[in-house]
Structure 1
Amino acid sequence: MATKEIMPTPLCLIENSTNGQLVVNQKALEILSGISQPVVVVTIVGPYRTGKSYLMNKLAGQKKGFSLGSTVRSHTKGIWMWCVPHSTKKDLTLVLLDTEGLGDVEKGNPKNDTWIFVLAVLLSSTLVYNSMGTINQQAMDQLHYVSELTEHIRTRASPNLDGVDGSAEFVSFFPDFVWTVRDFTLELKLDGYPITEDQYLENALQRKRETEEKTEVLHLPQSCIVKYFPTKKCFVFPQPTTRKNLPKLEELQENELEPEFVEQAEHFSSYIFQNAKAKTIQGGVVINGTRLKILVENYVEVISSGNVPCMENVVLALAEIENSAAVQKAIACYEKLMRQLKLPTNNLQELLNCDADSTMEAIEVFRQFSFKDEGQRFQKELGKELLERKEEFYEKNEKMSADHCWALIQDIFQPLEEETKKGTFSKSGGYKLFVEMKQKLKKKYNEESNKGLQAEEILLKYLQSKEDIEETIFQTDMSLLEKEKEIAVERAKAEAVEQADKQLQELQELNRQMLEQMEKSHQEHVKQLTQKMKEERQQMMAEQEETLNLKLKDQEKLIQKEFQNERKQLEDQIQSLQEQVDSSRKSCVIL
Structure 2
Amino acid sequence: MNKLAGKDKGFSLGATIQAHTMGIWMWCLPHPKKPGHTLVLLDTEGLGDVEKSNTQNDSWIFALSVLLSSILVYNSMGTIDQCALEKLQYVTELTKCIKVKSTSSGHSKKDATDDFLRFFPAFVWAVRDFCLELELDGYPITPDEYLENALRRRKGSPEKLDLAKKCIRQYFPSRKCFVFDRPTVREDLKHLEKLPESRLLPGFVKDMHTFLQHIYENADAKVIQGGHVATGTLLGNLAVTYVDAIRSGTVPCIENAVLALAQIENSAAVQEAIKRYEEMKEQLVKLPTETMEELLKAHSQSEKEAIKVFMARSFNDEGQEYQKQLGLMLESKLQELCSSNGRASLDCCQALLKQLFRDLEQKIADGIYTLPGGYQQFLNDQKEQIEMYQEVPGKGLMASRALQDYLKSQEGAAQSILKADRNLTEKEKEAEVERVRAQAAEQEAELHKKLKEETLKMAEEKEKSYEEHKRQLIAKMEEDRKNQQQEYERMLNAKLQEERRLLQEGFNTEATRMQREMEQLRAQLRETRSKPCVLL
TM-score range, shorter chain: 0.7 to 0.9
**Aligned residues of 1:408 and 1:445 also touching (Cα < 8 A):** yes
State whether structure 2 residue 241 is matched by structure 1 residue 241: no
Kindly indicate whether the alpha-carbon contact (under 8 Å) linking 1:86 and 1:93 is maintained by their aligned counterparts in 2. yes
1:398 and 2:336 correspond: no
Is the aligned partner of 1:472 residue 2:427? Answer: no
1:192 corresponds to which residue?
138
Q: Which position in structure 2 is the counterpart of 1:355?
A: 299
1:146-545 to 2 correspondences below 5 Å:
146-161=91-106, 163=108, 164-210=110-156, 215-340=158-283, 341-478=285-422
Which amino acid is the alignment partner of residue 280 of structure 2? Answer: L
Residue pairs, 1:50-65, within 5 angstroms: 56-65=1-10
Instruction: Give 1:258 shift.
Output: 1.4
Residue 11 of structure 2: aligned partner: 66
Contact map agreement 2:86 2:160 (CA 8 A) in 1 = no
Letter in 2 for 1:302: A
How far off its partner does 1:229 sit? 1.2
CA distance 1:137–1:466, change in 2 (3 Å): same
CA shift, 1:337, in A, is 1.6
Is the deviation greater in 421-430 or in 169-178?
A: 421-430
What amino acid maps onto 2:64 in structure 1?
L
Offset of residue 162 of structure 1: 5.5
Shift of 1:106: 3.0
Distance 2:332 2:241 in 1: 33
Query: Shift of the alpha carbon at 1:357?
Result: 2.1
User: Could you list the per-position Cα deviations for residues 334-382 of structure 1 after superposition, in whole angstroms to 9, with x for gaps in the alignment?
Assistant: 2222222111110111112222222222222211111111001011001
1:407-463 CA distance string (max 9 Å, x none): 110111111111112121122222222111111101110111111000000111111
Q: Secondary structure at the match of 2:27?
A: strand
Structure 2 match to 1:94: 39
Match of 1:83 among 2, 5, 28: 28
Once residues 125 and 462 of structure 1 are traced to their aligned partners in structure 2, the CA distance between those partners, rounded to angstroms, is 69
Matches within 5 A, 1:104-183: 104-161=49-106, 163=108, 164-183=110-129
The offset of 1:394, in angstroms, is 0.4
Separation of aligned partners in 2, 1:223 and 1:230: 11
How do residues 575-590 of structure 1 correspond to structure 2 at under 5 angstroms? none
Query: CA separation of 1:406/1:230 partners in 2, compared to 1, >3 Å: closer, same or farther?
Result: farther
CA contact (8 A) 1:198 1:234 kept: yes
Aligned residue type for 1:455: A
SS at match of 1:81: strand
- CA distance in structure 2 between the partners assigned to 1:386 and 1:448 by the alignment: 33
Query: Normalised by the size of structure 1, how large is the TM-score?
Result: 0.70
Structure 2 gaps of 5+ residues are 427-536
Shift of 1:230: 3.2
The CA deviation string for residues 473-507 of structure 1, in whole angstroms up to 9 with x for no partner, is 2222249999xxxxxxxxxxxxxxxxxxxxxxxxx
Maintained 8 Å contact 2:102/2:253: yes
Q: Residue 127 of structure 1: SS of its match in structure 2?
A: strand
Which amino acid is 2:13 matched to? Answer: L
- The offset of 1:71, in angstroms, is 1.6
- Whole-Å separation in 1 of the counterparts to 2:424 and 2:327: 64
Distance 2:61 2:423 in 1: 101
* CA shift in 2, pair 1:275/1:471, >3 Å: same
Q: C-alpha separation between the residues in 1 aligned to 2:361 and 2:100?
A: 78
1:270 CA displacement: 1.0
Give the alignment's Cα RMSD to 1 decimal: 1.7
* CA distance in 1: counterparts of 2:384 and 2:52, whole angstroms: 93
State the AA in 1 paired with 2:121: P
CA deviation vs aligned residue, 1:254-276 (integer Å, no higher than 9, x gap):
22221101111111111111111
The aligned amino acid for 1:121 is: V
Q: Which moved more, 1:137-146 or 1:158-167?
A: 158-167
- Does structure 2 retain, via aligned residues, the 8 Å contact 1:146–1:225? yes
Q: Distance in 2 between matches of 1:268 and 1:92?
A: 19
* Secondary structure in 2 matching 1:425: helix
**Following the alignment from structure 1 to structure 2, what is the Cα–Cα distance between the partners of residues 294 and 389?**
30
Amino acid at match of 1:322: E
Distance 2:274 2:190 in 1: 56
Q: Which amino acid aligns with 1:179?
A: W
Q: Letter of the aligned partner of 2:73 in structure 1?
A: V
Give aligned-pair identity as a percent: 52
Contact 2:360 2:382 in 1 (8 A): yes
Contact 1:79–1:97 under 8 Å retained in 2 = yes
Q: Take 2:225 and 2:111, find their aligned partners in 1: how far apart are those partners?
A: 16
Asked whether the 8 Å contact 2:73–2:123 carries over to 1, the reply is: yes
CA distance, structure 1, for counterparts of residue 309 and residue 402 of structure 2: 39
Q: Which amino acid aligns with 1:187?
A: E
C-alpha contact 2:369 2:375 (8 A) present in aligned 1:
yes
Distance 1:167 1:92 in 2: 30
CA contact (8 A) 2:98 2:252 kept: yes
> Counterpart of 1:292 in structure 2: which amino acid?
L
> Per-residue deviation at 1:70?
2.2
Runs of 4+ off more than 4 Å: 478-482
Contact 1:180 1:236 in 2 (8 A): yes
Q: Is the 8 A contact 2:224 2:258 kept in 1?
A: yes
Task: Tell me the secondary structure at the aligned position of residue 186 of structure 2.
Answer: coil
146-155 or 466-475, which moves further after superposition? Answer: 466-475
CA distance in 2 between partners of 1:158 and 1:434 (Å): 85
